Amino acid sequence: MRILMVSKACLVGAYQTKLEAIARHEGIELAVVVPPVWRDPAGDVTLERAHTDGYRLFVDPLRFNGHFHLHYYPRLGERIAAFRPDIVHMDEEPYNLATWLGIRQAQAAGARSLFFSWQNIERDYPFPFRLMERQVLETVSYAIVGSEASGDVWRAKGYRGPYQVIPQFGIDPEMFHPPQERDRGRAFTIGAAGRLVPEKGFDLLLEAVSSLPGLWQLQIAGDGPQRATLARLARQAGIAGRIHFEGAIPSTQMPAFLRQLDALVLPSRTLPNWKEQFGRVLVEAMASGVAVVASDSGEIPNVVDGAGLLFQEENSAHLRAHLCALLQEEGLRDELGEAGRQRVLDNFTQAQVAARTVDVYREMTRQGERDE
């Protein structure tokens, strides 16, 4: 079975372990198309060739790079014609131009197709995206969604085909693992990671730690338009000396960043146009044996599911109370770290995500044989 996946997300080196895991399955010949760079508004994401064994990686140009709805791969038709896939896996939302073109090109070549979606809020798009979305939903053979909420969105918008709930990427537990020993003599180290944007709630985290007692420090990995604002808030609160802005960290360095933390906080807030779709950094931290604290936005409660501490969105006092408990109780940190890693091993490994994705490919093949 030949699979052609199109995925700008697979620029990230750590994510490529899923591709290797898919390629290890019997009867699978995998090729993946990525751009050389994705010009994200938060900063360029450049291809990391970290895990490329067992499959073919095609690096193709991207038109309208950085435009989420308008970008597309001008050579994709040629790739499909040359590789002759049985399935074209568009690792993109169904309302994007890239997905619309990819599904049409797959259909013209006699290949089956699927899309991936994190979209968990029902939205109406203007013409022509509304038309492209409808045509994709009517034409595509299968869908993979990151949450049940996403599946509900596409059912409400008219998709009647089969779908499975599978996270886009899992965790390599050999890459993300606890340290051999934690340094109990240093300051309690809190971590946070993600784009520095309002929806991630880092301003709420600064408010929570501003009156946190004892010896602590906060390390923030990531960059974005709120960085200057957050630095100003830290100065105003008199805690600038305890806040360390690490900037954007390559995916291959995230395991080391997480292993030196005592707690990881994801203080996401729901906005009219956004709610947390998964919170990947949570499962990375859990796999690393780090106690996690997170808001109850979107999919987060389903991801954590008792293996971490949840607080009500925007409730800085509740977040502060959780951090106080973790600061004072090493046993609680250890207990949550062990529970978090076990939850990842049971549900969110890259091998599990790859196996479930391959099951979808095989089901699509059987579906195609029945339709003939």
Domain limits, the chain: 2-170+349-371, 188-347
Whether 294 shows a pLDDT value over 90: the answer reads yes
Helix (H, G, I), strand (E, B) or coil at 194: coil
Sign, CA dihedral 332-333-336-342, equals: negative
181-205: per-residue pLDDT in tens? 887 778 999 999 999 999 999 999 9
Whether 209 shows a pLDDT value over 80: the answer reads yes
CATH of domain 188-347: 3.40.50.2000
Same fold yes or no, 2-170+349-371 and 188-347: yes
149-169: per-residue pLDDT in tens? 999 999 999 999 999 999 999
313-357: per-residue pLDDT in tens? 999 999 999 999 999 999 999 999 999 999 999 999 999 999 999
Whether 371 shows a pLDDT value over 70: the answer reads no
pLDDT of res. 40: 87
Confidence of residue 372 (pLDDT cuts 50, 70, 90): low
123-148: per-residue pLDDT in tens? 999 999 999 999 999 999 999 999 99
pLDDT of res. 367: 81
> How is residue 360 written in tokens?
């979808």
Tell me which fold the domain 2-170+349-371 belongs to. Rossmann fold (3.40.50)
Name residues whose C-beta falls within 8 Å of residue 48's C-beta, 6 or more positions apart in sequence.
11, 12, 13, 16, 250, 251, 252
Alpha helices (H) in 84-180, listed in sequence order: 97-108, 129-139, 148-156
Helix (H, G, I), strand (E, B) or coil at 217: strand
- The span from the CA of 43 to the CA of 225, in Å, is 10
- The span from the CA of 251 to the CA of 190, in Å, is 19
- The span from the CA of 320 to the CA of 63, in Å, is 46
43-46 vs 37-40, strand pairing mode: antiparallel
